[in-house]
Amino acid sequence: MLKYKETRVLIVGAGAIGQVYGSYLQKGGDIVNVLVRPHHLEQATEGYILHQLGIAGKRAHYDLFKPNRVLTSIDQVPGEIYTSVWFCLPTPVLKEPWVAQLLEMVRGATIVVTGLSDKQLLQTMVPEDTIVTFLVSMVAYPGPLEGEDFWPPGMVYYFPPFAPSGFEGSNADRAMACVRELSRGGAPAAWRDDVEYKTNVASALLMPFVMGAELSGWSVQGLRQGQFMQPVLNTYRELVALAQQKHGKTKDPLPLRILNHGKGPKLFDFLLKIAPRLVPFPLDAYLQFHFTKIRQQTHESMQALIAEGPQFGMQMQNLRQLYGAWSGLVGPPQGGFLPPAQSGQFPQSPQSGQFPAAQSGQFPQSPQSGQFPQAPQSGQFPQASQSGQFPQAPQSGAFMQSPQSGSIVAAEHYPPADSEEETPPPADPQVFGLDIMGDEMVESATSLEEITGDMDPAVLEEDPTEQ
């Protein structure tokens, strides 16, 4: 007979998200099992090495997360009652037939997903009130990256200050249970009542920035000083306006309020200048590692936004131009399409000089205040998956069909993928609240004071409703 005694969690896919959040759930007292592919059985059984970064950099110790039980087949799932099942998988994997079978086995459990598209997929298989969506607020990657010195190698992760992971669900009790379980273990987590909107607005800043960085040779300083800074900011404003139209918001996001101020462009330029000193990891190397790996998803996300714009009376011309230049550099999506720009042509790649160079670090002025919605509150950077550190998962479609019945072949031979959900999470709008007054930043702090000395404090003040 099945008996429920403890809070038992199943992590499906023990990549960066699964490893880090699984370890905190376990620290909080949960029994944490993981479901991985057979070739990851040995590593999962031995445990995952986790290096946490603080504001000052790498901490002196590392953690070892050893799941309570490692499963390699959905056939091993029955027999235990799970209070929650965390899907830490790429969205395409969730379309495979074994997922529906697994959901049937854990019916009644809280289903936790890391992306809005994941929720849309799974709510066709389980009641919507059992699904909880959360916004990942950490940076994670298999380390060491170039320029780092970690031993032993393992997953490196960083929780940005003031940016707890946001949880939302139509059943508030289920969402709050996830928050409590993570918080007990020491992970920053909070209830959010508008995760979708905050995701949209935060991605509006992150994704143009990432495309601009790649167009600038994966260099934040190259982006800051080069010809793509202005198109990135124009696209940011356009995407925020789209989010406003979708969600009926009117308040400007905090980064946009600062950018709109008279000295905002200068402050924005200054923050980009010191950005590598604000994070305890090699920023350029991380951006290149993570976003090179998920180019296909970037293609799909940008195409979806371009297609969505006309529904709200927006032609998304700035996004079309920036995306067109980026696509000209990296190539078209796999098996996808490039939606036409207004003229039917995309702008040329960066070599063509399609975009005018920004002048002396100055950025274009914004539309009138009130045109854009308020800022999100969670997430700074997207998390990395295990690519480059651990063996890759089979390609989508590796779950072979049985010739007799059309059902999937024995699950023990084709377990679910264990790479990470790649929905680009948002940049942290509260980066302006980070403590940058460290011993090595006295000179920078003085410069920042010169920039903000006569700035209206109301511009920098965060609205309580945005928390």
State how far the Cα of 11 lies from the Cα of 33, in Å rounded to an integer.
6
Range among 260-264, 392-396, 428-432 rated most confident: 260-264
Radius of gyration of the chain (CA): 22
Contact 76, 302 (CB under 8 A): no
Is pLDDT at 159 greater than 70 in this prediction? yes
Contact 235, 203 (CB under 8 A): no
Mean pLDDT on 375-401: 35
The 3-state secondary structure of 115-166 reads CHHHHHHHCCCCCHHHEEEEECCCEEEEECCCCCCCCCCEEEEECCCCCCEE
Q: What is the pLDDT of residue 17?
A: 94
Mean pLDDT on 423-431: 35
Mean pLDDT on 262-273: 87
Confidence of residue 196 (pLDDT cuts 50, 70, 90): confident
**Residue 118 to residues 111, 115, 269, Cα–Cα distance (Å):** 11, 5, 36
Contact 44, 36 (CB under 8 A): yes
State how far the Cα of 383 lies from the Cα of 334, in Å rounded to an integer.
23
Is pLDDT at 291 greater than 50 in this prediction? yes
Q: Which two tokens stand for residue 393?
A: 């998962």
> Residue 439 burial by CB count (10 A; 0-12/13-18/19+): exposed, middle or buried?
exposed
Mean pLDDT on 110-135: 91
Confidence of residue 429 (pLDDT cuts 50, 70, 90): very low
Nearest to 44 by CA among 11, 76, 89, 2: 11
| 132 φ, ψ (degrees, to nearest 5) | -120, 130
Distance between alpha carbon 37 and the CA centroid of its chain, in Å? Answer: 24
Tell me the whole-structure pTM to 2 decimals. 0.70
Nearest to 258 by CA among 266, 250, 248, 249: 266
Count of Cβ atoms closer than 10 Å to residue 364 Cβ = 13
Q: What is the pLDDT of residue 139?
A: 93
Confidence of residue 356 (pLDDT cuts 50, 70, 90): very low
Mean pLDDT on 260-283: 89
Cα 380–381–384 angle (5° rounding)? 150
The 10s digit of each residue's pLDDT in 42-51 is 999 999 999 9
State how far the Cα of 380 lies from the Cα of 108, in Å rounded to an integer.
33
Nearest to 325 by CA among 307, 302, 360, 352: 352
State how far the Cα of 305 lies from the Cα of 319, in Å rounded to an integer.
9
State how far the Cα of 216 lies from the Cα of 430, in Å rounded to an integer.
25
Count of Cβ atoms closer than 10 Å to residue 124 Cβ = 8
State how far the Cα of 31 lies from the Cα of 33, in Å rounded to an integer.
7
Is pLDDT at 386 greater than 80 in this prediction? no
